């Protein structure tokens, strides 16, 4: 699924090249037809000032192929006009100043219309690519999640049934099914988020939110994951409200929590805090785990980066922190990581900007 | 109506989902009626008059939201929506159309049952005119307009009480920000979400043991708030978490 945008881009590249070639061909054919028609007409009327008609192939080339085919069509069309219809006939020599003005005007109009038509075309293509991407994301999400929903639902019913709940060998299996399904679902979510980010598709919907709600939601969604650790949550009272997309920040904080769980031993402490900071609210996740070396600190936010010392021991995609950073940045915030060194735990922070909001006092009763 | 064997109508085109929903509901002594599309679902809803409807959002013939809208035009039967879309706007739209609550796939049966029971209670309370709502240590007497925590009466401002009252009427189910703003501050203030945030914070300071880690008045990010039914169990389950603030 990660390859979706790349395949999509390659596909669009092919389409673009083919469209350019066909549009040039079409423009050439049109120029030939127009020239023949004008040559026939020239026996009856004076066709010297009809260069404007060669804008038609330019427009066709621009709308179908873009700006380069438009320019090629303009040059060839102009050549045809000068060669066949400008006296002296059948050469590329232009003598009168009026004709020179004509030609300059033609080139100018051709370039401008070509550029405009090409812009329209590109906007249309981008919209198509967006629609295609959304459709892909939607169908991937639906196709993968529907069976997952059946598995998790069935597992939860099994866990609930009196026969299985009473059997201490079977009951944990139903729990395993549920937990592993949740894990798979979060991997799918990560891939979808990664796809959205790399195709520039995050559209944050900012709303006023209490930072404590973000922290609590992030913890509540990962209750199962956090079972084996000693969790401490500290939220300062009277934190300012922030105006962010709460679900994006919750996801980012969730990535930090998942990281802390993954890279720290069972029963060690994980601490989550929300505290005021100058012009910002700071959310942190700290653990007593593997820590981050100085070199790793430079790269942990990179896509697909995984520290070599973890690669064989702990599974991961190298996407989590990259996703977290992109989501937080999209909300106008920033992320930060620090660590006292390998084996001494890590501290990951999110800073959310604080903006003034109108007080509600005047609506109280 | 809510007989000892409440009837649930399940409208979902995925046979595997219907299968586990049937088993899950039957284990909890519901009678299950199934439909695999919106049209047949709407027909079953009129013919069988179920006590509860569970409808999937993506149906083959039309969107599940149409089912919500059509059923709501003639019935106030509790409706729970199943959705694969984790899109907050979509959830808000469905709730505004009249759905009582939603669960996002993949979900566990316990989660769906909790939502379903809350919606059934809301419905029977509405019919029976039951005046009190109890959530963990919190007791709201809707007739006497009093609120107490662990038996001690607490003072709320009229707007704080109104906020709690609207949430209590839907206890256990989510109530959208927009609905709360409209009910408490009036239609002109539907966009003024920060009023709501600040009042919820004040209310939590009065009813929650730790207002920064609420167990009673919980947030559904990007959607609304919920008075958590079964707050007691959740409370004891999370005692392991040490708090300090």
Same domain, B142 and B122: no
> Among partner residues B107, B213, B222, which is closest to A247 by beta-carbon distance?
B222
**Most B CBs within 10 Å: which of A141, A149, A205, A242, as the mutation test of the B interface?**
A149
For B25, residues 6+ apart whose C-beta sits below 8 A from its C-beta are B8, B10, B32, B113
> Among partner residues A235, A246, A365, which is closest to B158 by beta-carbon distance?
A365
Last residue of a domain, one of B79, B95, B127: B127
Residue B178 lies in a domain: yes
Same domain, A183 and A227: no
Instruction: Write down the pLDDT at residue A107.
Output: 82
Tokens of A79: 């050549």
For A61, residues 6+ apart whose C-beta sits below 8 A from its C-beta are A23, A24, A26, A27, A69, A70, A72, A73, A114
Domain that holds residue B146: 131-238
Q: What is the ipTM of this complex?
A: 0.83
Mean pLDDT of A116-121: 82
Same domain, A134 and A211: no
Instruction: Write down the pLDDT at residue A213.
Output: 95
Q: Taking the alpha carbons of A250, A256, A259, A264 in that order, is the dihedral positive or negative?
A: negative
Residue B1 lies in a domain: no
Q: Taking the alpha carbons of A57, A59, A63, A65 in that order, is the dihedral positive or negative?
A: positive
Strands (E), chain B: 7-11, 31-35, 52-56, 79-83, 101-104, 132-135, 138-141, 146-149, 152-154, 174-176, 217-220, 224-227, 242-243
User: Nearest 5°: phi and psi at A154?
Assistant: -60, -45
Please give the Cα distance from A60 to A357 (Å, whole number): 53
- Bridge partners of residue B148, in order along the sequence: B139, B153
Same domain, B148 and B234: yes
Same domain, A184 and A223: no
Contacts of residue A185 in chain B, CB cutoff 8 Å?
A: 106
Instruction: Write down the pLDDT at residue B240.
Output: 34
Cβ–Cβ of B244/A234 closer than 8 Å? Answer: yes
Same domain, B147 and B211: yes
Last residue of a domain, one of A173, A201, A229: A201
- Residue B47 sits at the vertex; the CA angle it makes with B42 and B49, to the nearest 5 degrees, is 85
Same domain, B123 and B14: yes
Q: Does A175 score more than 90 pLDDT?
A: no
B103 and B83 Cβ atoms separated by less than 8 Å: yes
Same domain, A119 and A258: no
User: In CATH, what number is assigned to the domain containing residue A215?
Assistant: 3.30.565.10
Please give the Cα distance from A115 to A70 (Å, whole number): 8
Same domain, B86 and B174: no
Residue B191 lies in a domain: yes
Instruction: Write down the pLDDT at residue B82.
Output: 92
Q: Does B245 score more than 50 pLDDT?
A: no
Last residue of a domain, one of B66, B95, B127: B127
Same domain, A195 and A279: no
Same domain, A255 and A355: yes
Q: Which residue's structure tokens are 């994006």?
A: A248
A224 and A159 Cβ atoms separated by less than 8 Å: no
The mean pLDDT of chain B is 87
The mean pLDDT of chain A is 84
Contacts of residue A145 in chain B, CB cutoff 8 Å?
A: 84, 105-106
Last residue of a domain, one of A201, A225, A248: A201
Same domain, A260 and A224: yes
pTM of the model: 0.73
> Among partner residues B20, B58, B159, which is closest to A142 by beta-carbon distance?
B58
> How close does chain A come to B122, measured CA to CA in Å?
25
> Among partner residues A145, A155, A364, which is closest to B105 by beta-carbon distance?
A145
Share of chain A above pLDDT 90, in %: 34
Cβ–Cβ of A154/B20 closer than 8 Å? Answer: yes
Same domain, B173 and B201: yes
Mean pLDDT of B78-89: 83
**Most A CBs within 10 Å: which of B58, B106, B174, as the mutation test of the A interface?**
B106
> Among partner residues A157, A241, A364, which is closest to B157 by beta-carbon distance?
A364
For A151, residues 6+ apart whose C-beta sits below 8 A from its C-beta are A177, A181, B106
B176 and B99 Cβ atoms separated by less than 8 Å: no
Q: Does A47 score more than 60 pLDDT?
A: yes
CB pairs under 8 A between A and B: 136
Same domain, B103 and B194: no
Q: How many domains is chain B partitioned into structurally?
A: 2
User: In CATH, what number is assigned to the domain containing residue B223?
Assistant: 1.10.10.10
Nearest-CA residue of chain B relative to A185?
A: B106
For chain B, the first-to-last Cα distance in angstroms comes to: 47
Same domain, A197 and A226: no
**DSSP-derived pairing of the beta strands B152-154 and B7-11:** unpaired
Domain that holds residue A87: 1-201
Cβ–Cβ of A205/B192 closer than 8 Å? Answer: no
> How close does chain B come to A208, measured CA to CA in Å?
6
Please give the Cα distance from B67 to A350 (Å, whole number): 42
Mean pLDDT of B214-243: 67
- Residue A266 sits at the vertex; the CA angle it makes with A265 and A271, to the nearest 5 degrees, is 85
Mean pLDDT of A63-72: 83
Same domain, B173 and B230: yes
Last residue of a domain, one of B83, B102, B127: B127
Q: How many domains is chain A partitioned into structurally?
A: 2
Express each pLDDT in B88-102 by its tens digit.
888 899 999 999 999
- B237 — pLDDT class (breaks 50, 70, 90): very low
Q: In what order do the strands lie in the sheet with B242-243?
A: A334-338, A347-353, A280-287, A269-277, A230-235, B242-243
**Most B CBs within 10 Å: which of A153, A154, A241, A363, as the mutation test of the B interface?**
A153
Highest mean pLDDT among A52-66, A88-102, B90-104: B90-104
What HEC string does A80-93 produce? HHHHHHCCCCCCCC
Express each pLDDT in B188-204 by its tens digit.
888 888 889 999 999 99
Same domain, A228 and A175: no
- B85 — pLDDT class (breaks 50, 70, 90): low
> Among partner residues A148, A189, A247, which is closest to B221 by beta-carbon distance?
A247
Residue B177 lies in a domain: yes
Please spell the DSSP secondary structure of B64-85, one letter per residue: HHHHHHHHHTT----EEEEES-
Last residue of a domain, one of A201, A224, A239: A201
Residue B142 lies in a domain: yes
Residue B245 lies in a domain: no
Mark which residues 318-357 of A lie under 8 Å from B by CB: 357
Cβ–Cβ of A149/B84 closer than 8 Å? Answer: yes
Express each pLDDT in B114-124 by its tens digit.
999 999 988 88
Q: Which residue's structure tokens are 């609550």?
A: B101
**Most B CBs within 10 Å: which of A360, A361, A362, as the mutation test of the B interface?**
A360
Q: Which residue has the higher pLDDT, A283 or A4?
A: A283
A218 and A257 Cβ atoms separated by less than 8 Å: yes
Q: Does A347 score more than 80 pLDDT?
A: yes
Same domain, A180 and A274: no
Share of chain A above pLDDT 70, in %: 91
Same domain, A111 and A255: no
User: In CATH, what number is assigned to the domain containing residue B11?
Assistant: 3.40.50.2300
Mean pLDDT of B145-152: 93
Express each pLDDT in A75-94 by its tens digit.
888 888 888 877 777 777 77
Residue B228 lies in a domain: yes
Same domain, A211 and A109: no
Contacts of residue B19 in chain A, CB cutoff 8 Å?
A: 150, 154
Mark which residues 94-123 of A lie under 8 Å from B by CB: none
Residue B243 lies in a domain: no
User: Nearest 5°: phi and psi at B34?
Assistant: -110, 150
- Residue A84 sits at the vertex; the CA angle it makes with A80 and A89, to the nearest 5 degrees, is 135
Q: Does A8 score more than 60 pLDDT?
A: no
- A44 — pLDDT class (breaks 50, 70, 90): confident
């Amino acid at each position: 699924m990660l390859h979706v945008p790349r395949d999509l881009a390659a596909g669009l590249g092919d389409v673009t090249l083919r469209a350019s070639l066909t549009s040039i061909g079409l423009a050439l054919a049109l120029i030939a037809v127009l020239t023949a028609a004008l040559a026939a007409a020239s026996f009856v009327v004076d066709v010297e000032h009809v260069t404007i008609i060669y804008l038609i192939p330019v427009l066709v080339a621009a709308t179908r192929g873009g700006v380069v085919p438009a320019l090629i069509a303009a040059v060839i069309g102009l050549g045809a006009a000068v060669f066949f219809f400008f006296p002296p006939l059948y050469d590329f020599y232009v003598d009168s100043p009026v004709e020179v003005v004509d030609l300059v005007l033609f080139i100018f109009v051709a370039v401008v219309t070509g550029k405009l038509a090409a812009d329209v075309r590109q906007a249309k293509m981008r919209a198509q690519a967006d629609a295609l991407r959304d459709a892909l994301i939607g169908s991937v999400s639906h196709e993968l999640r529907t069976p997952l929903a059946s598995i998790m639902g069935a597992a939860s019913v099994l866990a609930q049934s009196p026969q299985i709940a009473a059997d201490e060998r079977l009951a944990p299996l139903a729990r395993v099914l549920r937990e592993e399904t949740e894990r798979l679902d979060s991997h799918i979510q990560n891939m979808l988020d990664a796809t959205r980010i790399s195709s520039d598709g995050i559209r944050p919907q900012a709303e006023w939110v209490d930072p404590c709600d973000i922290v609590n939601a992030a913890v509540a969604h990962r209750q199962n994951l956090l079972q084996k650790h000693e969790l401490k949550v500290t939220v300062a009272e009277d934190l300012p409200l922030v105006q962010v997309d709460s679900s994006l920040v919750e996801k980012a904080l969730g990535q930090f929590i998942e990281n802390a769980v993954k890279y720290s031993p069972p029963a060690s402490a994980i601490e989550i805090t929300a505290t005021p900071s100058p012009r910002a609210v700071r959310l942190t996740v700290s653990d007593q785990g593997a820590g981050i070396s100085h070199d790793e600190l430079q790269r942990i936010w990179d896509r697909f980066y995984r520290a070599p010392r973890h690669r064989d021991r702990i599974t991961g995609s190298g996407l989590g922190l990259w996703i977290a950073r992109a989501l937080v940045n999209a909300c106008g915030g920033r992320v930060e990581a620090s660590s006292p060194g390998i084996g001494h735990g890590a501290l990951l922070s999110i800073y959310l900007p604080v903006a003034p909001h109108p007080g509600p006092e005047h609506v109280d009763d | 109506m809510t007989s000892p064997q409440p009837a649930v109508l399940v409208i979902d085109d995925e046979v595997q989902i219907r299968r586990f929903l049937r088993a899950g509901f039957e284990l909890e002594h519901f009678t299950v009626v199934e439909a695999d599309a919106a049209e047949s679902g709407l027909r079953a809803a009129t013919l069988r008059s179920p006590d509860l409807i569970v409808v999937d959002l993506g149906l083959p013939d039309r969107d599940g939201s149409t089912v919500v809208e059509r059923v709501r035009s003639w019935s106030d039967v509790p409706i729970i929506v199943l959705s694969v879309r984790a899109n907050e706007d979509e959830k808000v739209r469905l709730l505004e159309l009249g759905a009582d609550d939603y669960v996002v796939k993949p979900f566990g049966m316990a989660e769906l049952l909790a939502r379903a029971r809350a919606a059934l209670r809301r419905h029977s309370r509405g019919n029976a005119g039951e005046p009190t709502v109890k959530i963990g240590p919190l007791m709201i007497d809707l007739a006497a307009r009093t609120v107490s925590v662990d038996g001690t009466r607490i003072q709320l401002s009229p707007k704080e009480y109104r906020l709690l009252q609207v949430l209590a009427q839907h206890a256990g189910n989510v109530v959208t920000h927009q609905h709360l703003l409209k009910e408490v501050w009036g239609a002109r203030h539907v966009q003024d979400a920060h009023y709501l945030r600040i009042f919820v914070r004040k209310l939590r300071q009065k009813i929650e043991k730790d207002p920064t880690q609420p167990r009673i008045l919980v947030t559904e990010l990007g959607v609304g708030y919920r008075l958590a039914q079964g707050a007691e169990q959740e409370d004891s389950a999370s005692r392991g978490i040490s708090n300090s603030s």
